[in-house]
Structure 1
Amino acid sequence: MAKIKYYYDTETCRYERIKTSTTDIVINALGLMFLCITFGFIFSLIYSEYFPSSKEVQLIKENEDLLYSYDLLQKEIENTNDMLANLQDRDENIYRVIFEMDPIPMEIRNAGSGGSQKFQDLLDKKLSREKLIHGTLKKVDQLRRKMYIQTKSYDDLVEMAKNKNKLLAAMPAIQPIANKDLKRFASGFGYRLHPILKVKKMHTGCDFSAPKGTPIYATGDGVVITVEFNRGYGKQVEIDHGFGYITKYAHMNEFNVKKGQKVSRGQVIGKVGSTGLSVAPHLHYEVIHKGKKKNPVHYFYNDLSPEQFEILVEMASRENSSLGY
């Protein structure tokens, strides 16, 4: 039963009954409702903050697991990149050096990302973790490209290894005339005094002094590509050995081969003479590898002992006059 409330009226000196209007009741009810809603909202916020629902707990757990897996994935990518870098280093500085193959340019080894539109479909989805996912996919894609380039490099190395015996037979690895005692070596590679002009000029091969008619030998297996007379080199023969190697034999007296003929290392291809710009009977011999003229002495390792090779290198370094150009 509701309590009846009174108040003391000073004018009538009597207790009068308090009458509550409908408006007051409605206002009081709305006020109470507002307070309940406000406190309920605040309580729900506090509860959700400190007491998440089971679904929220599950989502939080899944998010933590995903972040942990992401960190592991990043470490795996870094480890794989380190392993790949090691393989690239061995490929560049060991295998390619052994087989005398050109290095792979770094801009090719580093492999581009494939264009800015490669992951456009992913970007269009506006994912909440867009940068994280996009960055990871770019790293994986670049790693995949680097690995592909490395596998292609190994394919080339395998092919070169299969041809190693052919390469060893083709390389110009002996002296072009009989010279066991090294006494026929006259002038080396580098700037030398020109025998006719009497000025220093680049001598692109080495000279072997020998009597006219001394046999000249092919220094490696190959195919004769030039048999001709040249004003400077006189009678000359050029042999293409493959694998980027060409040898030139100049100032010859006579030829023993024809253009297009296959020759083997040690085969007589002609005789020593003094044709062209020459001041005495001798052989001018050159080694050309991939278009660049090399010091022939560095290839005389197949018919010399280590001691003889050192002596020949020292003789080749002396700045004397050449016998022809």
Structure 2
Amino acid sequence: MSKVKYYYDPDTLSYRKIEPKKSKRYRNLFFFLLGSALFGFIGLLVLLNTDILNTPRELSLAREVENYELQFDILNKKMENMEQVLANIEDRDNNIYRLYFEANPIPEEQRRAGFGGINRYKSLEGFNNSKIITDATKRLDIIQKQMVIQSKSLDEIAILAAEKEKFLEAIPAIQPVRNEDLKRMASGFGWRTDPFTKARKMHKGMDFTAPRGTPIYASGNGVVTRADSNSSGYGKHIRIDHGHGYLSLYAHMSKYNVSKGQKVKRGDLIGFVGSTGRSEAPHLHYEVWKDKEKINPINFYYGSLSPIEFENMLKYANQENQSLD
């Protein structure tokens, strides 16, 4: 209750009550209401930023939002780990696996490409956290695409590895006569003296001297295309097609152990040393052909000779002596 104020009136020699002006009363009321409103607004802000006025449902939703934020952080870390692992696999794929199997590397722009055309993320727009959700979804889609590309690449590598294994098994890679069965390596690939005409001519194979009946082995996987004596000078001989443009020939044999059309594997017994055809003494004349051209067989013994044995063979093969056919 407001205090009543008085003043002394000298004319009446009495105290009179002071009556406040209406304008002042209205002004005081205005300031009171303004102060109340400001105080109420500040109080409301304080209350809205505390849990005092939240209902149990609002409190539960707030906890869910906090949990979603935590799960989103965990998802981001998982995506970062996945991207690091994928980057490591892609690096090895391009620079080791595909390089080894002579396959073209996959371009970086193909691995990292996004998705063009229609806006596939339109349904995620219009929310409070639309950008965060859209970015995370795009990131996951790109990771998924990278995984699909990498999976297909590894499938291709597996096929190339199987083909490479077949290729390595097929090409002539061992000496057709065992070292312990040899008397000596008589003549190598190159210019040699003909045993019959004594003229110098090109000897397009290697001669291995061994007793008659010494086993001869296939130098690689393949199919026997000939086992006959119908080729001039070779006598009884065998030809094996190894695929990939490779063919091996075994001449002057005494006996066959395979027949035309038969599949053989490296190391299979295919026949025996003899001296049939144009031959001066029992030996095996061995040739390797690549794309119908005769090449030096000495480059294809990595599967059966030690470095010392290969060095000795190389020394004898380079001597310009007389061939045996």
User: Could you list the runs of 5+ residues in structure 2 that have no partner in the other structure?
Assistant: 193-203, 210-215, 226-238, 253-260, 279-283
Aligned to 1:220: 221
Superposed, 1:45-124 pairs within 5 Å as 45-51=45-51, 53-54=53-54, 57-81=59-83, 101-102=101-102, 105-107=105-107, 111-115=111-115, 121-122=121-122
Q: Match for 2:246: what amino acid?
A: T
Aligned to 2:245: 246
Aligned to 1:277: none
Question: CA distance change for structure 1 residues 300 and 32 in 2, over 3 Å: closer, same or farther?
Answer: same
Question: CA distance change for structure 1 residues 315 and 162 in 2, over 3 Å: closer, same or farther?
Answer: same
Aligned 8 A contact 1:238 1:246 in 2:
no
Aligned 8 A contact 1:169 1:220 in 2:
yes
Aligned 8 A contact 1:7 1:16 in 2:
yes
Aligned to 1:314: 311
Aligned to 2:206: 208
Q: Secondary structure at the match of 1:111?
A: helix
Matched-pair identity in %: 24
Shift of 1:69: 0.4
Shift of 1:151: 3.3
Aligned to 1:285: 288
Shift of 1:54: 1.9
Q: What is the CA–CA distance in structure 2 between the aligned matches of 1:92 and 1:298, rounded to whole Å?
A: 30
CA-to-aligned-CA distance 1:24-80 (integer Å, 9 cap, x gap):
333222221111001111122223234454255444423321121012222333444
Aligned 8 A contact 1:272 1:282 in 2:
no
Q: What is the CA–CA distance in structure 1 between the aligned matches of 2:95 and 2:114, rounded to whole Å?
A: 28
Q: What is the CA–CA distance in structure 2 between the aligned matches of 1:108 and 1:185, rounded to whole Å?
A: 56
Q: Secondary structure at the match of 2:206?
A: strand
User: Could you list the runs of 5+ residues in structure 1 that have no partner in the other structure?
Assistant: 189-193, 197-205, 225-236, 254-260, 274-280
Superposed, 1:165-176 pairs within 5 Å as 170-175=170-175
CA-to-aligned-CA distance 1:222-244 (integer Å, 9 cap, x gap):
597xxxxxxxxxxxx99462xxx
Aligned 8 A contact 2:171 2:246 in 1:
no
Q: TM-score under structure 1 normalisation? A: 0.54
Q: Match for 1:76: what amino acid?
A: K
Query: Are 1:28 and 2:28 matched, yes or no?
Result: yes
Q: What is the CA–CA distance in structure 2 between the aligned matches of 1:283 and 1:187, rounded to whole Å?
A: 10
Q: TM-score under structure 2 normalisation? A: 0.54
Aligned 8 A contact 1:210 1:282 in 2:
yes
Q: What is the CA–CA distance in structure 2 between the aligned matches of 1:9 and 1:322, rounded to whole Å?
A: 154
Shift of 1:10: 6.2
Q: What is the CA–CA distance in structure 1 between the aligned matches of 2:178 and 2:165, rounded to whole Å?
A: 26
CA-to-aligned-CA distance 1:216-267 (integer Å, 9 cap, x gap):
967331597xxxxxxxxxxxx99462xxx332569x99xxxxxxx7864566
Q: What is the CA–CA distance in structure 2 between the aligned matches of 1:74 and 1:322, rounded to whole Å?
A: 73
Give the alignment's Cα RMSD to 1 decimal. 5.7
CA-to-aligned-CA distance 1:76-97 (integer Å, 9 cap, x gap):
3344456656776887899889
Query: Are 1:132 and 2:132 matched, yes or no?
Result: yes
Shift of 1:22: 3.7
Count of aligned residue pairs for this structure pair: 268
Q: What is the CA–CA distance in structure 2 between the aligned matches of 1:134 and 1:264, rounded to whole Å?
A: 61
Q: Match for 1:64: what amino acid?
A: E
Q: Match for 2:65: what amino acid?
A: N
Q: What is the CA–CA distance in structure 2 between the aligned matches of 1:44 and 1:161, rounded to whole Å?
A: 73
Aligned to 1:37: 37
Q: Secondary structure at the match of 1:184?
A: strand
Q: What is the CA–CA distance in structure 2 between the aligned matches of 1:91 and 1:263, rounded to whole Å?
A: 35
Structure having the higher Rg: 2
Aligned to 2:230: none
